[in-house]
């Protein structure tokens, strides 16, 4: 298997073997249906493009409810180790443990592997119903910082001993008098670092250059949170000067204005670099704008270490599990991102083209087909089969 492992140079460049091993997590709920669908479609595209010369050697690893039931842990150490060793992996949705030690498996994986970029491309497919008049004008890629900000998980419950202690520190040692109801306040901490911000913005700039737009918009709330969000903005501009000689076309926008502008003039934006909380809101709003919250793909990446985990962005849809109705497109498009990341772009293009063909003809799973003028609903398996049928050179 060693020969099938991706090698990573010190600058993060990948050397991808022809028959590359990719660890995958099937996922809970609908994962059992959408993950095989994704593998079937990706395998077909690779086979049509490269014949016997290239293939993906899928290696199953465990996480989620299934791992808990069989191994007694939601996230086995071996799974993180495999993702680290093999560098690139893909995952279906995971049940969030209720009342356990882990708040979120996804957050634990992002932090455990230091996957500091959450990458979300947002584009519209012809045929997909959208709530806006011109969804074709939306074509953006969001770089969301994944490891810092108010999402770092540093917070204390209202009225707890820790919250009181924290307030005493604020009041007695830092001279803070602005907490309106100190006795009953919960507290959270928002760490935002120079390194964390700069590596995120640098990755966004490199991506913008590689795609030819060379245009990055920093989305922040620095008018109010001057040191954290304002710091992010300032360090972003510094990165442009320090690493790119100021040659990236960079601008910035206050987050609330961005949410408005993205609806009114989406064509003004290309690559968005933003912090964790803003990025969460922005990604879902943009995905909804192209009618695709159920089909938007995502990836979590550390470019320096050459690590990436591609993922469905929706949850386990327990209401659909086992019914052959789940839409596999979020995971399939994440597989497309994975192929692009591996440099197997010809195969990636075939899948995208096949999706365009099927959607254009009204074929989709029921969640999308019911809103299409000429919608013809297909089951998960039948949709994957139909995609494979139209994947040709
Ligand atoms: P959900 O995304 O699973 O479902 C929300 C709604 O969207 C449901 O009506 C569902 O039927 C529909 N839906 C979701 N994916 C679909 C698909 N592929 N095709 C068609 N319809 C789809 O969110 P919910 O119900 O809040 O969470 C269920 C579980 O998933 C929870 O344990 C939650 O923590 C977990 N979750 C995991 C995520 C991940 O692993 N990335 C992300 C979000 C939730």
Give backbone dihedrals phi and psi of 203, rounded to 5 degrees, phi first.
Answer: -60, -40
Q: Is 92's C-beta closer than 6 angstroms to any atom of ligand 1?
A: no
Does the annotation count 367 as an active-site position? no
In this prediction, residues 272-300 reach a mean pLDDT of 92
Distance CA 348, CA 391 (A): 11
Specify the residue with its C-alpha closest to ligand 1, atom 43: 315
pLDDT at 306 over 60: yes
Min mean pLDDT across 46-55, 62-71, 269-278 is at 62-71
- Under the banding of pLDDT at 50, 70 and 90, the label for residue 223 is very high
User: Tell me, what's the pLDDT at 82?
Assistant: 94
Does the annotation count 221 as an active-site position? yes
- Under the banding of pLDDT at 50, 70 and 90, the label for residue 100 is low
Does the annotation count 59 as an active-site position? no
Q: Which atom of ligand 1 is nearest to the CA of 366?
A: 20
Specify the residue with its C-alpha closest to ligand 1, atom 4: 317
Could you tell me the two tokens for 152? 């770092």
Cβ atoms within 10 Å, residue 389:
12
User: Tell me, what's the pLDDT at 84?
Assistant: 93
User: Tell me, what's the pLDDT at 249?
Assistant: 98
Q: Is 317's C-beta closer than 6 angstroms to any atom of ligand 1?
A: yes
pLDDT at 348 over 80: yes
Enter the DSSP assignment of 163.
H
Could you tell me the two tokens for 125? 């497919």
> Residue 232 is inside which H or E element, if any?
helix 229-244
Enter the DSSP assignment of 368.
H
- Under the banding of pLDDT at 50, 70 and 90, the label for residue 112 is confident
Q: Is 300's C-beta closer than 6 angstroms to any atom of ligand 1?
A: no
């Amino acid at each position: 298997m060693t020969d099938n492992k991706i090698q990573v140079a010190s600058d993060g460049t990948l050397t991808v073997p022809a028959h590359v091993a990719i660890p995958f997590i099937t996922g809970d709920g609908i994962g059992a249906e959408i993950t095989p669908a994704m593998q079937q479609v990706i395998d077909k595209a690779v086979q049509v493009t490269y014949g016997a010369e290239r293939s993906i050697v899928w290696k199953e690893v465990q996480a989620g409810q299934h791992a808990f039931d069989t191994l007694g842990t939601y996230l086995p150490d071996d799974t993180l180790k495999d993702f680290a060793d093999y560098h690139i992996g893909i995952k279906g949705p995971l049940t969030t443990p209720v009342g356990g030690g882990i708040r979120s498996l996804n957050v634990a994986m992002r932090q455990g592997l230091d996957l500091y970029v959450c990458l979300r491309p947002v584009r519209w497919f012809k045929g997909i119903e959208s709530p806006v008049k011109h969804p074709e004008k939306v074509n953006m890629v969001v770089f969301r910082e994944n490891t810092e900000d108010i999402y770092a998980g540093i917070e204390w419950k209202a009225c707890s001993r820790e919250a009181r202690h924290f307030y005493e520190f604020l009041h007695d040692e830092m001279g803070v008098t602005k907490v309106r109801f100190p006795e009953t306040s919960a507290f959270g901490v928002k760490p935002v670092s120079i390194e964390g911000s700069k590596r995120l913005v640098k990755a966004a700039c490199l991506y913008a250059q590689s795609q030819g737009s060379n245009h990055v918009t920093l989305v922040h709330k620095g008018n109010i949170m001057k040191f954290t969000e304002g710091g992010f903005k300032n360090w972003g501009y510094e990165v442009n000067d320090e690493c790119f000689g100021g040659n990236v076309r960079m601008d910035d926008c206050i987050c609330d204005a961005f949410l408005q502008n993205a609806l009114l003039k989406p064509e003004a934006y290309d690559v968005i670099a933003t912090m964790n909380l803003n990025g969460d809101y922005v990604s879902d709003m943009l995905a909804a704008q192209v009618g695709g919250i159920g089909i938007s793909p995502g990836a979590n990446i550390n470019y320096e270490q050459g690590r990436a985990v591609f993922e469905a962005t929706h949850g386990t849809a327990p209401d659909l599990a086992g019914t052959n109705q789940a839409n596999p497109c979020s995971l399939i498009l994440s597989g497309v991102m994975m192929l692009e990341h591996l440099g197997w772009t010809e195969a990636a293009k075939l899948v995208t083209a096949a999706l365009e063909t099927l959607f254009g003809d009204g074929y989709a799973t029921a969640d999308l087909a019911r809103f299409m003028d000429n919608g013809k609903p297909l089951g998960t398996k039948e949709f994957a089969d139909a995609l494979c049928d139209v994947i040709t050179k």
